[in-house]
Amino acid sequence: HVLRFLSWSCCLPVPSERLFVEMADVMAAEGWRDAGYEFVCIDDCWMAPTRDEHGRLQADPKRFPSGIRKLADYVHSKGLKLGIYSDVGNKTCAGFPGSYNHYDLDAQTFASWGVDLLKFDGCNSDTLELLAEGYRRMSLALNKTGRSIVYSCEWPFYLRPVQQPNYTEIKQYCNHWRNFFDVYDSWRSIKSILDWTALHQDSIVKIAGPGGWNDPDMASIFVFLSQLVIGNFGLSWDQAVTQMAMWAIMAAPLFMSNDLRHISPEAKWLLQNKEVIAINQDPLGKQGYQITKDKNFELWERPLSGQAYAVAVLNQQEIGGPQNFTFSLTFLGNGLACNPACFVRQILPASRDWGVYSWVSSLNVEVNPTGTVLLKV
């Protein structure tokens, strides 16, 4: 299954032991863990500026006075898991000690602390050869610890400006991998990720599946600017629905980067929506793709288990009112999704049954500007 996370990173508020304890408490008490959000993840800036006398990474003593081991124990006591951050180069993106030439030691350190996920960034690596070697070596080092640690890479993102990533090799070493720029709390950012994914779907969709997933974005070095920016300030309601629907279609790991202590009931309903999460987590593990684009409308589908399909109708227009898009059900699943008939249910923006349709029927969908209607067929 694609894993689901809450991720916090540098800047404001500065990451601290208290912050992660409070987030773990909220995740356990307010339904996030039960919805499937399993990990509390620390991003960059958790470290002390230097390694200890034995060469090991150490937490900043003022902000993490009890150390990462005790924080992991507390997170585990809440039925959750802890993720941490490091970098393949000699420094992290924010300038803290990186893992270059310390891969085995750092992997052993993380395992001894009880860490369950490593996000491994790609800043400050001198060459692409060293970058690739570092990602391979850390994967092997994590496996040697004997502890199950999810390995989150940014390998293809750093390769793409120079060469086409070898996704077959990357999947051999990584559990999920970042492809594109940081996602920001804005519609422009969400739209750019969707456009990039559609443009490159021929090379990335086929590699996704159990054990290895395309990640539209990992957490950036700014708080509130991670993968699911729902519940913050930059997206309208329709745009938040679009992000949740499309991340489910793309089989993307669901990282939240928001303050669960101060989230609106509407955002909580969307992020905890069981039907959307079930699509995201579908055990068949196939990533969805765009099947047609008509002016401002995009039609996407994702094959699901049980001969079902998730279907998203996205309206990219940014002005005006709702518009209608009509498409034939023969478009779906190479003509097989609704043959000879199918039941259609709307999941987002609100759930309701549409009923039974024949193979030759057409669906007429009304979609708000920058909104998405998510269906299950």
Q: What is the 3 state secondary structure string of 10-34?
A: CCCCCCCHHHHHHHHHHHHHCCHHH
The whole model's pTM is what? 0.92
**Per-residue model confidence (pLDDT) at position 222:** 26
Question: pLDDT per residue over 146-194, tens digit each?
Answer: 999 999 999 999 998 899 999 999 999 999 999 987 777 789 999 999 9
Which residues of the chain are under the pLDDT cut of 70? 1-14, 217-233
**Per-residue model confidence (pLDDT) at position 183:** 76
**Per-residue model confidence (pLDDT) at position 220:** 29
**Per-residue model confidence (pLDDT) at position 257:** 87
Q: Which helix (DSSP H) or strand (DSSP E) does residue 309 occupy?
A: strand 309-315
CB-side exposure of 275: number of CA atoms within 13 Å? 17
**Per-residue model confidence (pLDDT) at position 161:** 86
- Which amino acid makes up residue 78? K
Is the domain spanning 4-281 CATH 3.20.20.70? The answer is yes
Which of these is catalytic: 43, 44, 87, 121?
121
**Per-residue model confidence (pLDDT) at position 33:** 97
**Per-residue model confidence (pLDDT) at position 173:** 98
Question: pLDDT per residue over 90-136, tens digit each?
Answer: 999 999 999 999 999 999 999 999 999 999 999 999 999 999 999 99
Q: Which CATH class name applies to 289-376?
A: mainly beta
**Per-residue model confidence (pLDDT) at position 219:** 32
Q: Domain coordinates of the chain in residue numbers? A: 4-281, 289-376
**Per-residue model confidence (pLDDT) at position 226:** 34
**Per-residue model confidence (pLDDT) at position 228:** 55
Q: Are 279 and 304 in contact (CB under 8 A)?
A: yes
3-class DSSP state for residue 39? strand
The domains spanning 4-281 and 289-376 adopt the same CATH topology: no
Which of these is catalytic: 73, 182, 195, 238?
182
* Whether residue 121 lies in the annotated active site: yes
Cα–Cα nearest to 258, from 235, 218, 229: 229
